């Protein structure tokens, strides 16, 4: 069933040549890559931690060297990526589609808005954790209902969720601000943080940059946790349920529980993403959590490659950096501003269709395929098979 959809797990065929590569007289990047691999820590967790640390350094460099405008774009990208990472675990790894992640983000954002009261309230990390927990709870309820559904039924039910939740905010307008939305207090930049940044780069830390740091810090933490979860038994069980639920059930896996757990983890990510969105946008409003947001997240994970965290990251970058580019092209072509702004969703839709028709494994899948092919070719024609 999931055959076309996803190629997340490194196939055995790929792992074997990687181990054999140093002995083969393969010059160029292949060898260097293998040498790099040998120097990596042996444990999966250690490797992930090292990559995360490297990524953290890269994040600091990028955020310090780019303009405030770019900083805010990166902040936006961080919450898309957190939600997309959660969605890719659910859809790519466990085979459950969700069009309701926008609604789950709304839960996180509204929770943050209610709890974050500026001075004297709960500290930001606590608020974010509570937002994640509340959303996870909602996710558990949704997941329990969703665990018995598949494919189009699940898509329809979560679509209903995406349409229904914004209505709640309007119904409880005294508490949640109705159509105008709920303002979210902007967190203060802690002085120790500003000092640390000043010490490292001699730069001031405006709120926008601080928020980007918060977003990316959260994102890296989420990615680290998810990567470990995916590599561990939980990830294998999720994949087993996705690939063949009958076989998984016969192997003693309790389908319902596994599905709900996947939904809870995914929802917690969406809640965190909503919290980051809340503090970055400084507002939680129904108009911010339309179906378009949910479908945008789906686009991100599908384009990047279902089930791949790197794919989710790439897809989120697309969500942030594509619209301005496309909009500019549209204005250049003579469209007015509101028309040109619609070019981005148009491109999302077309890309969703095209990816499913031409490359269902997404960007990461295609890159992997090309990489494997080029490596096979380098190993000489004797190993190539025709047919």
Residues that bind other proteins (CB under 8 A): 1-5, 91, 95, 97, 99, 145, 148-153, 155-157, 159-161, 163-165, 167-168, 170-171, 290-292, 295, 298-299, 302, 335, 338-339, 342-346, 348-353, 356-357, 360
> Could you tell me the smallest distance in angstroms from the CB atom of residue 110 to other proteins?
15
HSE-up of residue 102 (Cα within 13 Å, Cβ side): 26
> Could you tell me the smallest distance in angstroms from the CB atom of residue 179 to other proteins?
10
> Could you tell me the smallest distance in angstroms from the CB atom of residue 117 to other proteins?
26
> Could you tell me the smallest distance in angstroms from the CB atom of residue 347 to other proteins?
8
Residue 259 or 375: the one with the smaller Cβ distance to other proteins is 259
Residue 72 or 158: the one with the smaller Cβ distance to other proteins is 158
Show the CA angle centred on residue 215, arms to residues 76 and 361, nearest 5°: 65
> Could you tell me the smallest distance in angstroms from the CB atom of residue 150 to other proteins?
7
Residue 342 or 367: the one with the smaller Cβ distance to other proteins is 342
> Could you tell me the smallest distance in angstroms from the CB atom of residue 92 to other proteins?
10
> Could you tell me the smallest distance in angstroms from the CB atom of residue 282 to other proteins?
24
> Could you tell me the smallest distance in angstroms from the CB atom of residue 148 to other proteins?
7
Residue 45 or 172: the one with the smaller Cβ distance to other proteins is 172
Residue 5 or 115: the one with the smaller Cβ distance to other proteins is 5
Residue 253 or 291: the one with the smaller Cβ distance to other proteins is 291
> Could you tell me the smallest distance in angstroms from the CB atom of residue 86 to other proteins?
17
Kindly give the interhelix angle for 101-115 and 124-146, rounded to the nearest 10 degrees.
150
Residue 4 or 328: the one with the smaller Cβ distance to other proteins is 4
**Which of these, 260, 297, 293, lies nearest to 140 by C-alpha position?**
260
3-state secondary structure the chain: CCCCCCCCCCCHHHHHHHHHCCCCCCCCHHHHHHHHHHHCCCCHHHHHHHHHHHHHHHHHHHHHHCCHHHHHHHHHHHHHHHHHHHHHHHHHHHCCCCCCHHHHHHHHHHHHHHHCCCCCCCCHHHHHHHHHHHHHHHHHHHHHHHCCCCHHHHHHHHHHHHHHHHHHHHHCHHHHCHHHCEECCCCCCCHHHHHHHHHHHCCCCCHHHHHHHHHHHHHHHHHHHHHHHHHCHHHHHHHHHHHCHHHHHHCCCCHHHHHHHHHHHHHHHHHHHHHHHHHHHCEECHHHHCHHHHHHHHHHHHHHCCCCHHHHHHHHHHHHHHHHHHHHHHHHCCCCHHHHHCHHHHHHHHHHHHHHHHCCCHHHHHHHHHHHHHHHHHCCHHHCCCC
> Could you tell me the smallest distance in angstroms from the CB atom of residue 30 to other proteins?
29
296 Cβ contact partners less than 8 Å away, ≥ 6 residues apart: 80, 319, 345, 348
Residue 77 or 301: the one with the smaller Cβ distance to other proteins is 301
Residue 62 or 291: the one with the smaller Cβ distance to other proteins is 291
Residue 86 or 286: the one with the smaller Cβ distance to other proteins is 286
């Amino acid at each position: 069933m999931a055959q076309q959809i996803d190629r997340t797990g490194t196939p055995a065929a790929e792992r074997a040549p990687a181990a054999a590569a140093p002995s083969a007289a393969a010059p160029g990047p292949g060898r260097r890559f293998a040498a790099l691999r040998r120097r990596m820590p042996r444990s999966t967790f250690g490797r992930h931690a090292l990559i995360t640390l490297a990524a953290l350094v890269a994040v600091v460099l990028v955020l310090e060297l780019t303009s405030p405008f770019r900083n805010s774009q990166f902040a936006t990208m961080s919450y898309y990526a957190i939600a997309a990472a959660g969605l890719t675990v659910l859809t790519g790894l466990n085979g459950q589609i969700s069009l309701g992640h926008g609604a789950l983000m709304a839960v996180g954002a509204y929770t943050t808005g209610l709890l974050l009261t500026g001075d004297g309230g709960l500290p930001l990390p606590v608020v974010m954790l509570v937002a994640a927990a509340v959303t996870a709870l909602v996710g558990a309820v949704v997941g329990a209902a969703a665990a018995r559904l598949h494919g189009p039924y699940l898509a329809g039910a979560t679509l209903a969720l995406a349409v229904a939740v914004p209505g709640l905010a309007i119904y409880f307008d005294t508490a949640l601000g109705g159509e105008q939305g709920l303002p979210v207090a902007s967190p203060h930049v802690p002085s120790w943080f500003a000092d640390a940044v000043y010490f490292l780069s001699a730069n001031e830390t405006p709120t926008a940059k601080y928020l980007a740091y918060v977003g990316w810090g959260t994102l890296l933490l989420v990615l680290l946790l998810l990567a470990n979860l995916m590599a561990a038994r939980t990830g294998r069980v999720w994949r087993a349920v996705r690939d063949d639920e009958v076989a998984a059930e016969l192997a003693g896996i309790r389908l319902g529980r596994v599905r709900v757990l996947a939904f809870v983890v995914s929802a917690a990510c969406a809640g965190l993403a909503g919290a980051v969105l809340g503090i970055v946008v400084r507002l939680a409003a129904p108009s911010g959590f339309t179906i378009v947001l949910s479908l945008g997240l789906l686009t991100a994970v599908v384009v990047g490659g279902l089930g791949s965290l790197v794919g989710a990251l790439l897809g989120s970058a697309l969500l942030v950096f594509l619209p301005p580019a496309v909009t500019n092209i549209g204005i250049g072509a003579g469209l007015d501003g509101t028309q040109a702004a619609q070019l981005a969703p148009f491109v999302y839709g077309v890309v969703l269709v095209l990816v499913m028709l031409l490359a269902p494994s997404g960007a990461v899948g295609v890159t992997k395929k090309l990489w494997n092919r080029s490596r096979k070719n380098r190993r000489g024609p004797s190993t190539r098979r025709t047919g």
